[in-house]
Amino acid sequence: MSCHNDALDQLREAGFRLTPQRAMVLDVVYHNNGHLTADEVFERVRLLSPYVDLSTIYRTLVFLKQNGLIGELRLEGGPARFEAVRMGHEHHHAVCSNCGRMLEIDPADLNVLESTMRQKYGFEVNLVHLTLSGLCAECAASLPQRSGGVTYATPA
């Protein structure tokens, strides 16, 4: 049994055709633990079917993202990366804008943000796939100290 059967069922129930290309892209993305670029998805799908072209992969990734079956992660200066969205499994990241290190964030750590948004702004946040950017501990320690957005050197 495939680990993405729920995603396939969701497409069918929404009235969409389950094309071989959609099934292959879902298979590749759902059987990967990390984040794949469109080119990496293309390379893996080509192993299954050498007749699939890159434009089909891009269209399929957009379609699957629009239907909530895959998530897209965009990092500054890098290509978009895609991963499986599994129902009931919130998935969040903190990405270092200096070195690119990616940290997984425990969804429970965002409860205060969710509560604040609801109480203070009357806004119901949909925290399914959130990406925060900043500096990891190592990069923050190696850069000059910052105060109020102004960078200054520490006296020697």
Average pLDDT over residues 94-117: 85
pTM over 0.95: no
Cα 37 to Cα 7, 21, 29, 34, 108, distances in angstroms: 20, 16, 10, 10, 28
CA 143 to chain centre: 27
**What confidence score (pLDDT) does residue 69 get?**
86
Mean pLDDT in the chain?
A: 83
Residue 119 clears pLDDT 80, i.e. is over it: yes
